[in-house]
Structure 1
């Protein structure tokens, strides 16, 4: 809008020639009236107007339509006023007199930004729908305690350590924590330390300068900088080396990061949420995880219970997963009561992830419209010849008591040994079959002493 009729008419004509729909207003109040009853992408306004000036119109227009992109027009000698408008939320400014091509270009950029903001808002809405508290399915006492604790800590900036077995939904908890925090409009950036080799993890988190190493053809921001203002979720943090843990500790203490190959640091405002499926206190005692980093991460702990400790949630979870599967399939299915009873009689060594896979498989393969017990093939739970079967297998009565970490180590050792035999000790093929990185496989084999002697007494990985 502009209170000079000739300027306003010519500007509108230029934009209409480009195919834009243009509404004109002679005063700031007329512009506000138009904004109140219509959806507008871009507001083009002069700064020097009577009785309502451009800065007042800018403030009030953004109150009416927060997504509005505002371009202010100003004389060359009033640049300070244009800068003030940018500070108040204007997208851009243009100095008079301006060429038609400059005007068209600025408006085009403003419209593109408007479209991008609309898409981001849609993604944000979807994120909130998927990761609000209702996404944490279950009403068992264990889940109620987790949700209550999560809501209490969400509004603070306290560092959170999430502990739980694989497949329990630790990342979902982290996303829900972010959604309910004051940082919800900023990025949630996840990184899985077990999925990235040790040599690349530092660059991935801290970034690197151009030429810092072979293949670094251009400078790159790390995930710490990408998450600035938001939440950085560091999954499987215990899979890192002591050297990397030292660098991570410094970043947390100083609130700044230094890109690989650079000498200056960058300040970042990031909330850290870390997670592990290991007994981290044992990792500290065994000197595999730095004690000072543990204390820095373990400000608030959220424990995600395994599914076997909340079997009363199986029905709700199965129904939730089936609803999602039905939305993708042409023939919707329903759960029978006998199928639910069948599932609740199982201990789910793979936790919620295993239940989700079972439901999706049944929904895809079952011939009838009602899912029956035979549509859910479960792993046997009675192998106790050596005291330990699958992770879900009960121990023989009277057998020696083991810690959870010992049970997990024994199961992992057995799985790795069997895969080594199947793949003729080819570690790359073993890692691929077990779904872990080569670095993670190497760490696991070293920890459970498989790098010293293999199933036939031969050295492994040498």
Structure 2
């Protein structure tokens, strides 16, 4: 986890110096104050994770300061220290909000024991917050299905990006093309993979809630802000934030995002303290951001800061050769999930799926296969279990004016070569007009493009 910020408030300079020396060796950033007033000011500026607080301070006792600190940040861990300890004082300190109590003089081994417990609690708290948002498996590039040239190029570039120091990535593509999966794989294959991956759909929240989710808020920042809350950027420090549907953010939020990208600093809603972070931002959208810029709905400077590395995921209709691989993968997946034993899909059913245009892309294909696996009682998926809008394209071609007689030679023939020759002759007849050729053969233009690529015509 990122280095912890620790504040020591004690009027004994030797104590403060000892904390700096000993905790500094353990990677803590240690701040010190010799009075309650100075400590309160530093606390507001740096928002430490842990405070070691002495009770006997000039002008104010440590017990009084505990409540002030907890009002600013309810999540801070306060370790109360006193050379005049009693059970009554310890109870008061804990009731006021202190996490633990240590008597002076102390040995730093005691301090380390307390620190280790606090660190574990902070880790657990952050993990719980992240698990609520992120329950997906450890996805890496080899889990993304695709052997087409288009997908191979995308994955090769994504691999380069993941291992680079790039702090911004922009993913473009239609809904259902797998932008969220690619974002997760980029994080998991990067040097940041031991740090958090947090995701938020910018279209799912109103502007006020989106700001609070991303940047956090201070207590009293708005009507329902009853306590301080860390935002996703702060939680993700050292890791990756995935902003899905970035095109839906308001211009006000875009200004703050630009500041984070350029300066690596932000403020909580209602806050006055700058918080430094180290994150990679992966933004995604299915919208035309340049069109939004033209309409004054998206900042041009933010667009160019995001698109340092830009990847455009192709729609499924443009890499149909991956459809059989995806079908096979989904069948295996749903066999395990539903305890089925489907062996595959019939050639006729597969051809229907190959010719469909898939406006919902891979997500729609996944849903269609899931439905078919659930309904199928045999060993192979049948077209009858596909939705009607997919099946209706499989209409027989009107052949009343076509001589369909074909005499099979005794030595047999290659169906592969026959289909290839039919396509070549049809293209020749239509002077390479793919739209006319597809219409003549009773298939979609995208299906013809797939076959042209398949047969290398």
Preserved contact between residue 164 and residue 170 of structure 1 (Cα < 8 Å): yes
1:154 paired with 2:173, answer: no
1:374 paired with 2:365, answer: no
State how far apart, in whole Å, the 1-side matches of 2:157 and 2:25 are.
Answer: 43
Query: What's the counterpart of residue 319 of structure 2?
Result: 310
Aligned length: 298
Describe how 1:35-114 pairs up with structure 2 within 5 A: 83=23, 86-87=26-27, 109=117
Preserved contact between residue 346 and residue 381 of structure 2 (Cα < 8 Å): no
Preserved contact between residue 331 and residue 369 of structure 1 (Cα < 8 Å): no
- Which of 194, 205, 209 aligns to 1:185? It is 194
Show CA shifts across 1:121-177 (max 9, x none): xx9xx9896411122101001100101111111112321100000000101010111
Normalised by the length of structure 2, the TM-score is 0.58
Structure 1 residues 298 and 107, CA, compared in 2 at 3 Å: closer, same or farther? closer
CA deviation after TM superposition for structure 1 residue 266, in Å: 0.4
Structure 1 residues 95 and 378, CA, compared in 2 at 3 Å: closer, same or farther? farther
Structure 1 residues 110 and 270, CA, compared in 2 at 3 Å: closer, same or farther? closer
1:240 paired with 2:249, answer: yes
Query: What's the counterpart of residue 410 of structure 2?
Result: none
Query: What's the counterpart of residue 197 of structure 1?
Result: 206
Show CA shifts across 1:55-81 (max 9, x none): xxxxxxxxxxxxxxxxxxxxx9x9888
State how far apart, in whole Å, the 1-side matches of 2:25 and 2:305 are.
Answer: 42
State how far apart, in whole Å, the 2-side matches of 1:319 and 1:137 are.
Answer: 10
- Which of 274, 297, 305 aligns to 2:306? It is 297
Structure 1 residues 196 and 95, CA, compared in 2 at 3 Å: closer, same or farther? same
State how far apart, in whole Å, the 2-side matches of 1:311 and 1:108 are.
Answer: 54
Describe how 1:440-459 pairs up with structure 2 within 5 A: none
State how far apart, in whole Å, the 2-side matches of 1:317 and 1:165 are.
Answer: 18
Query: What's the counterpart of residue 37 of structure 1?
Result: none
State how far apart, in whole Å, the 2-side matches of 1:220 and 1:107 are.
Answer: 23
CA deviation after TM superposition for structure 1 residue 334, in Å: 2.4
Describe how 1:252-401 pairs up with structure 2 within 5 A: 252-338=261-347, 339-379=349-389
Show CA shifts across 1:85-137 (max 9, x none): 7459xxxxx99999xxx99x979959977x979x99xx9xx989641112210
State how far apart, in whole Å, the 1-side matches of 2:204 and 2:143 are.
Answer: 25
State how far apart, in whole Å, the 2-side matches of 1:310 and 1:340 are.
Answer: 15
Preserved contact between residue 335 and residue 372 of structure 1 (Cα < 8 Å): no
Structure 1 residues 140 and 217, CA, compared in 2 at 3 Å: closer, same or farther? same
State how far apart, in whole Å, the 1-side matches of 2:296 and 2:105 are.
Answer: 70
Structure 1 residues 153 and 316, CA, compared in 2 at 3 Å: closer, same or farther? same
Structure 1 residues 251 and 87, CA, compared in 2 at 3 Å: closer, same or farther? closer
State how far apart, in whole Å, the 1-side matches of 2:184 and 2:244 are.
Answer: 12
Between stretches 142-151 and 129-138, larger displacement belongs to: 129-138
Query: What's the counterpart of residue 144 of structure 1?
Result: 152
RMSD of equivalent CA atoms: 3.7
Structure 1 residues 83 and 95, CA, compared in 2 at 3 Å: closer, same or farther? farther
- Which of 155, 167, 170 aligns to 2:179? It is 170
- Unmatched 5+ stretches in structure 1: 1-75, 89-93, 383-395, 398-462
Secondary structure of the 2:203 match is helix
Preserved contact between residue 228 and residue 268 of structure 1 (Cα < 8 Å): yes
Preserved contact between residue 128 and residue 179 of structure 1 (Cα < 8 Å): no
Show CA shifts across 1:260-294 (max 9, x none): 11111100111111011012122212222111111
Secondary structure of the 2:154 match is helix
- Unmatched 5+ stretches in structure 2: 1-14, 29-101, 394-434, 437-457
Preserved contact between residue 207 and residue 249 of structure 2 (Cα < 8 Å): yes
Query: What's the counterpart of residue 131 of structure 1?
Result: 139
State how far apart, in whole Å, the 2-side matches of 1:185 and 1:255 are.
Answer: 20
Preserved contact between residue 172 and residue 313 of structure 2 (Cα < 8 Å): yes
Structure 1 residues 80 and 198, CA, compared in 2 at 3 Å: closer, same or farther? closer
